[in-house]
Amino acid sequence: MKAFDTYQVYTAIKLHFSSSRYNYFEFAGKTKVSVEKFLQRNDRYFFEKISSKYNTNCVKEYFVSNFIANSNLWIGSMSDTNYVEWQKKMQSISYLFKNDLEKILLEVPNINEAFKCKKNQHSLIIKMFMGRHLMLETLVILNRLTNFVNRYDIILKDDCIWNEISLLIKKYDPFLNFNMKSLSTIVTQVI
């Protein structure tokens, strides 16, 4: 992979996570970037370094893992640590998801209570996520199983915090490949 190709992937994924209009998958990762503009950048070194270190698929994962940590990261601020932690999380997602479900059930008698938005306030799962007690991946999985994001988009439509979380869940979801059957089984076991 060449440095310019890495720059194209970076630009597309950054746009995907920072814009509600751009979708990396709809546009097949294409953006309007030129080699001339790339050559004028002072940070080309970072793209060269990443392109020599990772293959095409890993570059995409590298950027996703860094942009979920911060959607406005500059290439020079990205870290291998975010990527390594993300890889570890993906390798043990079933175990971590089960732990997150158990954390939820320590707070409420049943999982349905954790999804309730009382008086247009954030639900327990959103509060736990904001308090860094639940992984973003847990919200993505729970959304795939229950479609709660669409309900919350209606209930909390004027809530700017929820709007950011909703966009993050929706933008992150297509990058994740889970065995939903095994995760569904975990839900039934824990509940």
**Where in the chain are the domains?**
3-90, 92-190
Write the CATH number of the domain with boundaries 92-190. 1.10.220.50
**Residue partners of 33: CB distance under 8 A and separation at least 6:** 7, 8, 11
Residue with tokens 């293959």: 55
The type of residue at 143 is: N
Question: Considering only the top CATH level, what class is 3-90?
Answer: mainly alpha
Query: Using 50, 70 and 90 to split pLDDT, how confident is the model at 53?
Result: very high
pLDDT of residue 8: 94
How far, in Å, CA of 112 to CA of 108, rounded?
9
The residue-averaged pLDDT of 74-99 equals 92
Which amino acid is present at 149?
Answer: V
Give which of 157, 153, 105 is closest to 128, Cα–Cα: 105
Q: What is the mean pLDDT of residues 173-185?
A: 89
Q: Is the pLDDT of residue 56 over 90?
A: no
Q: How far apart are CA 52 and CA 68, in angstroms?
A: 23
